[in-house]
Chains A and B, each alone.
With several copies, the nearest count.
Chain A
């Protein structure tokens, strides 16, 4: 394991210290927690937006804390959902009297811990609503199983629900626009190499020198298929096709694209993927309204990428374009 860390057991605390040191004017860490909140929280009469999850997906989620996006991000241990008490602290810190909205990625751990936190907050008289993001089409959408995972599409939920809340929308309005994003967003990823949880010390899976995994999760969970590495064009095409097969994005639609690096993949390669994604969408008569290329939702030092498509209507376009001061998503 080659990492620039001090001690595998304190990476999260060390990281949070470094984040706050980098943005002392805009964010703060709630004492004795792993919660990052806007330094001016709570904003009175604004719905508070909270997200979070296991660490190792940076800049998700603390990088999205800022005016126009999240009010707080709760960091769990690496790849481990944060605990309810931490989420509760975040909720209490950002409640400005209009309630708090939780953006949860669809993993059992995240859902359970955030749900318990919501119950505790409601017991303290805070109105809490939530949305569960499940954009990963690599997994079947089923109510009999855990269902789809939440991956990079989550960032669009942060951005759009964040802009809505900033406009002074009610908790229900924020929830309803967040649900619209969830209904309109689909993603799929692939990996060339595994990643190593610092405290585990060894890679969570192995891929042969000529192998890639299509549809992999951001914690290294199994994908759809392992096969020989193909070209960027073939990879882009496979990811986009699977997303389009889901039927949400059709000819005539306006979409936002996110080409997301999982950690070790150079931006050069993300741009190469984007070139093909664009070409395919053009061919299909789907209009690319906006493109985001970079590392938005990573999996430690995994090499690979994900493609996300978000179908946009006028409301979503407006909200996507509104200003955001979050360090990892400046508009």
Chain B
């Protein structure tokens, strides 16, 4: 399967639907080990992404991703804004000029996105951040040969659930130390939704 502009647009439309639907849930997660704004932040950002997506013309997938990145950077704020922004910016740069995006390029894009998040956030796997979902998802992309929607969802969901058991050392949740254990990381929950949306869009295309 190849990933086209309309798939990308579809992807972020579904992401936005999920985020809006789960706005309160995400905020509640952030209430426990953060500052009660993650759902609000994400909902503001992705609403803006989608508002513009429908009014613009894109030549290639990289353009959509760039648009998403710039909108998130300028609308989300907090920790998650620059991190998701950086992710999609790096993704966009990695697939620039490749249209439609094939599986390997898509994988490469995700690798770059993950690298971007790690560098920007000075964090690594196992610190109870969105990296804990990005990283296993990138792994499964690398180990597979083509889009495996159900597998992606499964891996992403499990990774998200696993953040429960981690003690946070980066981001705001780090202040909660041991008390951060037992709760899902909000940014991991929204990252899960991004990959769940991707899987659904791919599944729909099949």
Interface residues of A (CB under 8 A from B): 54, 76-86, 107-109, 112-113, 116, 139, 144-146, 149, 197, 199-200, 202, 204-205, 217, 219-222
Contact = CB atoms under 8 A, between A and B. Distances in A.
Given A80-B76, A220-B36, 9 more contacts: A54-B35, A77-B40, A80-B40, A83-B75, A108-B170, A108-B172, A109-B172, A197-B37, A219-B35
A83 B79 contact: no
Interface stretch (B12-20, B90-98, B173-181): B173-181
A112 B83 contact: yes
Contacts of A145: 169-170, 174
B78 A81 contact: yes
B35 A79 contact: yes
B175 A84 contact: no
Interface in B41-59: 41, 44
Nearest to A196: B36
Contacts of A82: 77
A190 B24 CA distance: 27
Contacts of A113: 77-78, 81-82
Nearest to B179: A222
B120 interface: yes
A146 B34 CA distance: 13
Interface in B72-123: 73-83, 120-121
Contact of A112 (B27, B33, B79, B179): B79
A109 B176 contact: no
Contacts of A204: 31, 35-36
Nearest to B31: A204
B136 interface: no
B82 A146 contact: no
Contacts of B172: 107-109, 146, 219, 221
A50 B133 CA distance: 35
B98 to A, nearest CB: 26
B77 A146 contact: no
B36 A221 contact: no
15 contacts: A85-B74, A108-B171, A109-B80, A109-B82, A113-B81, A113-B82, A145-B174, A146-B172, A199-B37, A199-B40, A204-B35, A219-B34, A219-B35, A219-B172, A222-B175
Given A85-B73, A221-B35, A112 B120 contact: yes
A83 B74 contact: yes
Nearest to A149: B175
B175 A80 contact: no
Contact of A197 (B40, B75, B170): B40
Interface residues of B, number: 32
A107 B35 CA distance: 11
Contacts of B41: 77, 80
Contact of A200 (B31, B33, B76): B31
A112 B31 contact: no
A262 B41 CA distance: 24
A211 B37 CA distance: 25
Contacts, number: 109
Given A79-B37, A113-B81, A220-B35, A146 B174 contact: yes
| 5 nearest CB pairs, A to B | A219-B35, A112-B82, A109-B79, A109-B78, A222-B176
The residue among A81, A85, A200 with the most chain B CB atoms within 10 A of its own CB is A200
A78 B37 contact: yes
Interface string B2-21: 00000000000000000000
A80 B170 contact: no
A123 to B, nearest CB: 14
A77 B171 contact: no
A81 B35 contact: no
The residue among A54, A83, A202 with the most chain B CB atoms within 10 A of its own CB is A83
B34 A221 contact: yes
A83 B76 contact: yes
A113 B77 CA distance: 7
B73 A221 contact: no
Given A108-B121, A146-B171, A77 B77 contact: yes
A144 B169 contact: yes
A84 B169 contact: no
Contact of B36 (A79, A107, A149, A222): A79
Contacts of A84: 73-74, 82
Contacts of A79: 35-37
A298 B206 CA distance: 53
A112 B121 contact: yes
Nearest to A217: B175
A76 B74 contact: no
A197 B40 CA distance: 10
A197 B77 CA distance: 15
A225 B201 CA distance: 46
